Structure 1
Amino acid sequence: MSRLYDTVEPSVIDEDMLQKAVEEQGPKDEAGKIAKREGINFSDVLSLRLDFKNILKIDNLWEFTALTKLQLDNNIIEKIEGLDMLVNLVWLDLSFNNIEVIEGLSNLTKLKDLTFYNNRISKIENIDALKQLHVFSIGNNEIKDIKDILYLRQFPELKTLNIANNPVTRDDKDTFKQYVAAFLPNIEFLDYRLLDQQTKAAAYEKYQTQVEEQIDKDNKARAAAEEQERKRAETQLHKEAYVEFLNTAKLFEDMYADDPEGNKLNQIPEKLMTVCQQLFEFGLQEYEKRKAEVDMFWECVNEAKQENKEMGMDAIKEFMKEKKRIFAELVHMTDTKMVDNKLQEYNDQVTSLWDKLMGLELQLVDQLEEIIKDFERNMQDLVSVFLESVQAYLTQARDWENMHNEKMIESATSALEKAAKNELDEDVPEELKMLLVDKDTVMNAVTSSHDVHLLKIDNKEDDIVTRINTWLKNMIETIHEEQEIQRNRMRVTEITHLIDHLRDEADLLDLVQDNTFSKESLKGGRSVRFATGSVTGKRISNHPGALAEEYSIDDTEITTSFTGLSVDGDEGMKSEGDIDHDTIERLEGQENAAVQGHSLRLSVEYEQKEGKDNS
């Protein structure tokens, strides 16, 4: 059923294995060469295949945060681990391994296709978080309990199930098929075969009573889960408002939890509860104000960035129009001085574009800096108002505690006098009677109780103050780092890459113009090779500025002069040939050169008799 250890030593997923796999499965040809030379960032990889590598343990995959497809089949993996960071995973293949327990998948909430075919799994469990699961394969395992099928009812998107060749399916395949069809009505394919509506209807009729009972159980469980989620969300809201449990008696329960003597003396005073309820309601109101301020801040930031982006795009579009015009003129020029002047005009346009884009970036930096300063000031004001009110409410709580303590002293003194005269009421608890034997014991208990209560109130205040100040500090630091530093660096890098690429295009065009050959150069032994197809495809999309083997200039027709001879391009050309001195003599004076009935486009690649020189 599962792979056995063989003579090959178990492998470890290390840097070398990952690098090799990424390079082998990455871009091919010239793009692959460039990717290998520049290095592929693991965080950009979308698909990774690590099958048939005798891997024993899943490890070192934490950098592949963008990964959507992972193949780990046909290894000797025993435990599912090390996948927590792969939160974008959609497709996971762990078939043909030695896995016994399904675990370690709770973070993979985007998973749609999951296969455990041919392992040692005996129970379907621990995949509750995979609500988007569409395909699930667990065939050829050790599933014995038919109730495991009921576990899969919680996945409404599950359409394909493979569970063949498990103990649970071997006794009566037809009965098992009907059970699945009845209890998993959304399944369309079972063990790679279609479950038609007729089969589902017959199965439901057979198991109708059990199915309806199960539906009732599911509804109750769903309602309980929804209520639990509602409470969790409510508690989270209260935590974000820094007033959690202040609408309950928890603070006072905590006060008396560490104060057993005080608990014997008195119950929680109602006025303290009132103060806490007021603080709770005020805290929620202030939270809404802070949230509105944060939302408004991000709206302003995004609006400023979008406006700046549109102005930058307009500048680039305007430049591209000028570039097209200049290149169209350049490729037909034969006069060196005119070419130089036109190239200078183009470079001036590139410099102007650089100035515009960098100016827009500096403008955005100033805008964001001003927005962040205003936001920081407003948030500091809101937090200050909140903390002042918190301190005022808790000061009021201390006052009530002090008043409560004074009453406790009076009550304790009166109770001591009654105890001395043996006049205590019959309903007084026995524990309190034991406490009232000695005056010092009673007064120490009252004082200790009071100190504990004040400490709890102080701790609550410190907790609120510390948490909200930490939240504000971390948020502002993150905004400065992400919106000012990182964003600015990325934008400047993008602009630099764009400008470098535009200058490269000018250099390339200049190169084509410089390689204008005369009869004399051909007599000297140089031949010009004509390449099949058009001279397009200079830039590889994911590598700005990278050069392919054949060059292009933005899909512009290239015309290169040979002593008055023009050679035009045509993508329909199917042959190669050399233009030598005799050809030049024969065709000189013609407006267009034609060889074998095809007009040609000149390749920048050429060779010399003395040796090869590829440009």
Structure 2
Amino acid sequence: MIDTDEPTVVDEEMLQQAVEEQGPKGQAGVIAKQETIELKDVLHLRLDYRHILKIDHLWQFTSLTKLQLDNNIIEKITGLEFLTNLVWLDLSFNHIEAIEGLEALVKLEDLSLSNNSISTMENMDTLVNLHVLSICNNKLTQLDNVIYLRKFKNLRALNLAGNPVSTEECYKEFIAVYLPDLAYLDFRLLNEQTREEAMAKYQYALEELIHNETQELRVIEAKNQKEEELQQHREAFVDLLNGSQLFEGMYADDTEAERLAYLPGVPMLNQMVALCVQLFELGLVQKRARDEEVKCFFDCFHEAVEDNQQVASEKIVDFEKARREMLLEMQRMMDREELLARIGQGSKETCDLHDELMTLELQLADQLEDVVKDFERNISDMVASFIEAAQGIYPFITIRRPGVYCAPTGCTCSLTCLVCTFAQCRDLENIHNEKLLEISMATLEKVAKNELEEESQDELRALLVDKDTVMSAIGASHDTHLLKIDNREDELVTRINSWVASLMKTIHHDEVARNRKRIAEIHNYIDNVKEKLDDLNPS
């Protein structure tokens, strides 16, 4: 405990002192202090009665499950974002005015905020495992604020005594009906009689609340489902290609589109939507194929590692059995030369085991290297094929009937057309541009002959000042459309290539780490065996 009236901040010196004070006592404590206690291994920490104003420097306590910060002068909850394993937290008897900074404490089960200045229960949405909440002697005045706690389905004990809200006449009944899973309120059991009386009193209000919650839940579920689908589309690299998004984006960025739309008989690019949808469907099919390839690789990888480890384990088990018998035999030996000979034999057997284990690891590393190479070649070929299909680098068969399987991409198209590509989108845009030029030239002639219809004459005359003005507007529109298509194509190619590169980098890194760890395990084991043999050497 710090004997000072001055506000303090949690710092490294305070933390080290607290850990030492709460660590082992006596000789065990001396040893622990000499070896230096690792803060990342500390499970419980008391920082009460230390006049703490600000929480800080707790980032090293990643294993902490219980933290006591009561009876300080803390005004704001901060510095807890690294304590993701925290189960029990006491912040009572402080100067806290708002609940905040608890988002990372997803494992928290017991939270005490008693004797503070909190006026609203909020910002606890991530505490889904909360069992006990003590927030007595605060400034909670709104009984409706209790409804916020309905989202905590595991909440069993709640303490609100000493808040203005607890003096309301319907306090107990209100909480009993709106928190049906709550077992204890203010340290007293909520009995069935109280619940029945509360239900009779608030039945219609509760039914309306449940109805509204159900509607909100449906909206949230629909939103989550949509986000999950979009994430799947992102992972297939064809997000926002399952409709008119690319088409609409072309015109959204086209500053000349509105003026050009006044030209009579301007064709629409609706066919592009169908092409994008086909490309989208192709992307999903290709993603499923890649996912299956990745799964097959990791299954094969892990199976090879497990089989190798099984063989190595059997060798070690046999060796340990023989070693135990050898140690018993050596302990009974009286002849020094015989003992030395047996130690030499044991050393040779240990070296032989080392060679066998290292050979096994070498064989596994070679096997996995081949597996990784095959996978890298396969996944790279799959990605290259998809990119070529999307770009239209090589020709595909024409789909003659709706729903015909589209070799070699695996896309089941629903329209009679060539397999979808960005090249086709550009072709459509080029055709559209040529048609627009024809229409504009014909319209210019009508302007010259004063043959335009009255209702569109003013708008068209503003556009059709002369041939150069029209050509400039059409050219700018065309460039904008092509740029949008090119950018989306570049985005697809860049993202999928980055995915392959990142995946292979991770695989290679993990395999190197696995190999080094296994070799270190073998060396450590063999060194330990040799050390025990050396201890038996009479010389």
Fold in common (TM above 0.5): yes
Matched, 1:448 2:445: no
Q: Counterpart of 2:241 in 1: which secondary structure?
A: coil
Q: How much does 1:248 deviate?
A: 2.3
Worse-matched range after superposition: 163-172 or 86-95: 86-95
Q: 1:478 to 1:387 in 2, by over 3 A?
A: same
Read off the aligned partner of 2:529 and give its amino acid letter.
L
Aligned partner (choices 167, 176, 181) of residue 176 of structure 2: 181
The answer to whether the 8 A contact 2:153-2:181 is kept is yes
2:416 corresponding residue in structure 1:
none
1:547 counterpart residue number: none
TM-superposed deviation, 1:482: 1.8
Identity %, equivalent residues: 48
Confirm whether residue 475 of structure 1 aligns to residue 503 of structure 2.
Answer: yes
Q: How far apart are 1:27 and its partner, in Å?
A: 6.2
- Counterpart in 1 of 2:532? 505
User: Is 1:166 paired with 2:163?
Assistant: yes
* Amino acid of the structure 1 residue aligned with 2:11: I
1:132 — aligned with what? 129
Q: Aligned pair 1:326/2:354, yes or no?
A: no
Q: Which moved more, 1:134-143 or 1:236-245?
A: 134-143
CA distance change for structure 1 residues 427 and 48 in 2, over 3 Å: closer, same or farther?
farther
Q: Which moved more, 1:237-246 or 1:128-137?
A: 128-137
Return closer, same or farther for 1:72/1:313 CA change in 2, 3 Å cut-off.
Answer: farther
Partner of 1:387: 387
Moved more, 370-379 or 196-205: 196-205
The answer to whether the Cα contact below 8 Å between 2:5 and 2:51 also exists between their aligned partners in 1 is no
Structure 1 runs (4+) deviating above 6 angstroms are: 27-34
**CA–CA distance in structure 1, aligned partners of residues 31 and 387 of structure 2:** 57
**1:139 corresponds to which letter in structure 2?**
C
Cα displacement string for residues 113-148 of structure 1 (whole angstroms, at most 9, x for unaligned residues)? 333222222211122222222222222222221122
Deviation by residue 1:197-253 (Cα, 9 ceiling, x = unmatched)? 332222212211111111101100111110010011011111111111111222222
Q: Work out the CA distance in 1 between the residues paired with 2:535 and 2:195.
A: 67
Partner of residue 440, structure 2: 412
**In structure 2, what is the Cα distance between the partners aligned to 1:491 and 1:23?**
36
1:88 match: 85
Q: Give the partner amino acid of 1:216.
A: H
**What's 1:403 paired with?**
431
Work out the CA distance in 1 between the residues paired with 2:115 and 2:375.
57
Q: Structure 1 CA distance, aligned partners of 2:244 and 2:508?
A: 40
* Alignment CA distance shift 1:448-1:128 (3 Å): same
Equivalent residue for 2:68? 71
Equivalent position of 2:186 in the other structure: 191
Aligned amino acid, residue 73 of structure 2: I
CA contact (8 A) 1:243 1:280 kept: yes
Q: What amino acid is the match of 1:125?
A: E
Deviation at 1:361, TM superposition (A): 2.3
Is 1:377 aligned to 2:377, yes or no?
A: yes
- Amino acid of the residue matched to residue 171 of structure 2? F
SS of corresponding position for 1:260? coil
Q: What letter is aligned with 2:203?
A: Q
Shift of 1:41: 4.5
- Alpha-carbon shift at residue 397 of structure 1 (Å): 0.7
Letter in 2 for 1:8: E
Counterpart check, 1:153 vs 2:145: no
Equivalent residues of 2:9, 2:56 under 8 A apart: no
- Matches of 1:381 and 1:31, distance apart in 2: 61
Which one is further off, 87-96 or 147-156?
87-96
CA separation of 1:265/1:344 partners in 2, compared to 1, >3 Å: closer, same or farther? Answer: same
Residue identity opposite 1:227 in structure 2 = A
Q: Deviations over 1:256-289 (max 9, x none)?
A: 2221212332475111112111111111111111
Question: Which structure ranks higher in relative contact order (CA pairs < 8 Å, sequence separation ≥ 6)?
Answer: 2
How many Å separate the matches in 1 of 2:108 and 2:268? Answer: 51
1:362 aligns with 2:383: no
Equivalent position of 1:577 in the other structure: none
Residue 533 of structure 2 aligns with an amino acid whose one-letter code is A
* More displaced 10-residue stretch of structure 1: 28-37 or 236-245: 28-37
1:296 aligned onto 2:293: no
The structure with the greater share of residues assigned to helix is: 2
The code of the aligned residue for 1:415 comes to T
Please name the residue that 1:310 is paired with: 310
Instruction: For residue 167 of structure 1, report the CA deviation from its aligned partner.
Output: 2.0
Shift of 1:433: 5.0
Distance 1:157 1:178 in 2: 20
Secondary structure in 1 matching 2:139: coil
Task: Please give the alpha-carbon distance, in whole angstroms, between the structure 2 residues aligned to 1:275 and 1:361.
Answer: 51
**Change in CA separation of 1:293 and 1:24 when aligned onto 2, cut-off 3 Å:** farther
Counterpart in the other structure of 1:244: 239
SS across alignment from 1:219? helix
1:87 & 1:268 partners in 2: Cα distance?
55
SS in 2 for 1:207: helix
Contact 2:7 2:52 (8 Å CA) reproduced: no
Partner of 1:13: 11
Aligned pairs for 1:192-341 (under 5 A) are: 192-266=187-261, 268-341=268-341
> Conserved in 2, the CA contact under 8 Å of 1:42 and 1:64?
yes
Find the aligned partners of 1:479 and 1:45 in 2 and give their Cα distance. Answer: 33
| Mapped partners of 1:298, 1:26: distance in 2 | 44
Partners of 2:69 and 2:490 lie apart in 1 by 50
Cα drift, residue 494 of structure 1: 2.5
Residue identity opposite 2:351 in structure 1: T
> Could you say which residue in structure 2 is the equivalent of 1:571?
none
Note if contact 1:419-1:437 (Cα within 8 Å) is conserved in structure 2.
Answer: no
Gaps of 5+ in 2: 262-266, 393-420
CA separation in 2, counterparts of 1:30 and 1:475? 51
SS of the counterpart of 1:360? helix
Residue identity in the other structure for 2:431: M
Q: Secondary structure at the match of 1:147?
A: helix
Contact 1:11 1:53 in 2 (8 A): no
Letter in 1 for 2:498: T
Select which of 44, 48, 51 maps to 1:51: 48
Tell me the equivalent position of 2:116: 119
Write the distance in 2 (CA, Å) between the matches of 1:26 and 1:369: 48
Unaligned runs of at least 5 residues, structure 1 = 515-615
What is the aligned partner in structure 2 of residue 460 from structure 1? 488
Cα deviation code 1:455-504 (max 9, x no counterpart)? 111111111111111111112111111222x2222222323333333334
C-alpha distance 409-168 of structure 1, shift in aligned 2 (>3 A): same
Give the whole-Å Cα distance in 2 for the aligned partners of 1:82 and 1:432. Answer: 64
Amino acid at match of 1:327: L
Counterpart Cα distance in 1 of 2:205 and 2:291: 48
Q: 1:336 to 1:399 in 2, by over 3 A?
A: same
* Inter-partner Cα distance in structure 2 for 1:192 and 1:147: 21
- Note if contact 2:7-2:53 (Cα within 8 Å) is conserved in structure 1: no
Report if aligned partners of 2:106, 2:128 keep a CA contact under 8 Å in 1.
yes
| Aligned 8 A contact 1:238 1:284 in 2 | yes
- What is the CA-CA distance between 1:404 and the residue it aligns to? 0.7
SS in 1 for 2:111: strand
TM-score after normalising by structure 1? 0.76
Amino acid at match of 1:189: Y
Q: How far is 1:157 from its partner?
A: 1.6
Which whole-Å CA distance do the structure 1 matches of 2:281 and 2:5 have between them? 69
Distance 2:230 2:77 in 1: 33
Separation in 1, partners of 2:103, 2:290:
32
CA distance in 2, matches of 1:285, 1:134: 45
CA contact (8 A) 1:94 1:115 kept: yes
How far apart, CA to CA, are the structure 1 residues paired with 2:23 and 2:385?
56
TM-superposition CA deviations, 1:62-94 (whole Å, max 9, x none): 344444333333333332333333333333333
CA contact (8 A) 2:177 2:195 kept: yes
How many angstroms does 1:421 deviate by? Answer: 3.6
**Are residues 1:100 and 2:97 paired?**
yes
Aligned to 1:423: 451
Indicate if the aligned counterparts of 1:70 and 1:91 stay in contact, CA closer than 8 A.
Answer: yes
Q: Give the Cα separation in 2 of the matches to 1:265 and 1:126.
A: 52
- Structure 1 distance, partners of 2:28, 2:524, is 18
